[in-house]
Amino acid sequence: MCRLSAITSAEYFSPMENVMALNTMKEGHDGSGLGLVLRDLGGDFKDLKQYPILSGIASSEGLAELDTFMSGLGFREVHFWQPDIDDKAPEPELGRRDHYFAKAYEYPVDMQKRPQAEKEELLLDARLALRELGEEDESIFVFSFYPDTVTLKEVGDPLELGRFFRLDDGKLKARIILAQGRQNTNYDIYLYACHPFFLQGYCTMTNGENTAFVPIMEFLTSRGFPGYMGYNSDSEVFAHILHYTQRQLGYPLTYYKDVITPLAEKEIDGRKDAEALRLIRRSLRPLCIDGPNCVIGFAPDGTVFMVQDAKKLRPGIVGGVPGKYALMSEECGLDEAVPRRDKTEDFSPMKYDMAIIKPGASEMVRWSQLTP
């Protein structure tokens, strides 16, 4: 089962902290991959917050093609980050790629004063077009294109990859970092199948088995939103459900829990918003995940959360100190990430719970679905 490590902090920190946490949880993931999404960036990107950042992997030809495409759209590159690769570290399993990159761009001139929603649409369209461009020959993989966000994915052991990318060199830092140590199970090793998944500021990673994958995928793809595509992993849908309920439907975050793990009719009666909840449950019936899954994610405002359904036999765990909280799939990961904490305050969200940590990581809120 995949190992998940999310850390949210008031200060910038290195993704190596997540990698170290994944390493303590190694028993359980097969080291077949690492996925990282960094949000609220520090380091080299600290002063580039207004620019969208394109993260991906490309061959030399792919990168040239990508540059031509981007300049064709009117994007002007303002920063080009590449990891300072450690040649002594073992190479990724599928061999070293030509370019790992995160490029910050200035918006095309005619877009600069447009509303944020329109800009986000452009970013999504550009990312999807690039994905299509490089999909067949695998010359271009783009994982995210969004302000203040960097995504890095590669196949191999997380710790070795951390060394390979020199993630501890201080150039890449963030206040929110989600990392997944991958357990490659049934599918071919494919970069796009690696968590976390990101879409327009919404991001999730998951472990478990999404038994409702096909109906959810069919429901989402039939919404007519171009970003609902891919689905190389059965948990990609969780990020899209979050996006759909929050961005498209405008629901508050806690309703994500109500959508993916709906209450029974009788339980709904106890809620003040019962009438609305009942309608939501009916209308979004196909989005019930039916598990067993643990989902960790963040929303565009930087709120990090963890939820799981009733079937998750071993839930994830959340704990920390004011200023730094970690959401982990295993307790040993939490011990590694925030060793000095009050362990009695650790929280494993169960059937009805959601652990929510607002930006700034000052406290962890335990929200229950049964709260009237």
Partner 1 sequence: MDPATILDNNHELSLREFPYIVRWRDDRCTRCGRCTTVCPVNAIEPAPHVHRRIYSEGGTPNPKAEREIVHVVKQVTDVDRYCTGCGTCTLVCPNEAIEPEYNPRHKLLTYKNKGGVPFRRGGRRNDPSTSTVDQLKFTRISMLTDPALDAGRHEFRIRTLLGRNLPAEALPLKKRGDRLVVGKTHERGQAEDGHTAHGFIPPVREIYPIRIGSMSIGALSPHMWEGLAMGVAYLNEVEGMPVVMCTGEGGMPPRLLKSRFAKYFILQIASGYFGWDEIVHAIPEMTEDPAGIEIKYGQGAKPGDGGLLMAYKVLKLIAQIRGVPEFVDLASPPTHQTKYSIEEAVAKMIQSMSMAWGFRVPVYPKISGTKTAMAVLNNLARNPYAGALCIDGEDGGTGAAYNVSMDKMGHPIASNIRDCYLDLVAQGKQNELPLIAAGGMGKTGNLAANAAAMIMLGASAVDTGKHIMQAAAWCFGDEYNRCNLCNTGRCPRGITTQDPKLYRRLDPDKVAERVVEVFKSADVELRKIFAPLGRSTELPIGMSDALGVADQSIAERLRISYVC
Measured distance CA(319)–CA(61) in Å, rounded:
45
Region for 209 from its dihedrals, namely left if φ exceeds 0, alpha if ψ lies in -120 to 50, beta otherwise = beta
The footprint of partner 1 on residues 309-348 (CB under 8 A) is 309-313
Extended strands (E) in 162-308: 174-181, 197-199, 202-208, 293-298, 304-308
The residue from 35, 156, 208, 316 that contacts partner 1 (CB under 8 A) is: 208
Give how many residues touch partner 1 by CB under 8 A.
Answer: 49
From the CB of 309, what's the least distance to partner 1, in Å?
A: 7
Beta carbon nearer to partner 1, 78 or 249: 249
Beta carbon nearer to partner 1, 192 or 213: 213
Measured distance CA(152)–CA(140) in Å, rounded:
13
The footprint of partner 1 on residues 256-315 (CB under 8 A) is 261-262, 264-265, 272-273, 275-277, 279-280, 282-286, 288, 290-292, 309-313
From the CB of 211, what's the least distance to partner 1, in Å?
A: 4
Beta carbon nearer to partner 1, 63 or 220: 220
Measured distance CA(328)–CA(348) in Å, rounded:
10
The residue from 211, 232, 303, 368 that contacts partner 1 (CB under 8 A) is: 211
Segment near partner 1 (CB under 8 A); pick from 93-101, 120-128, 151-159, 220-228: 220-228
Placement of tokens 């080009």 in the chain: 80
List the structure tokens of 159: 């710790």
SS3 letters for 106-139?
A: ECCHHHCCCCHHHHHHHHHHHHHHHHHHHHCCCC
Beta carbon nearer to partner 1, 203 or 280: 280
Measured distance CA(67)–CA(76) in Å, rounded:
10
The footprint of partner 1 (CB under 8 A) covers: 1, 183, 185-186, 207-209, 211-215, 218-219, 222-224, 248-252, 254-255, 261-262, 264-265, 272-273, 275-277, 279-280, 282-286, 288, 290-292, 309-313
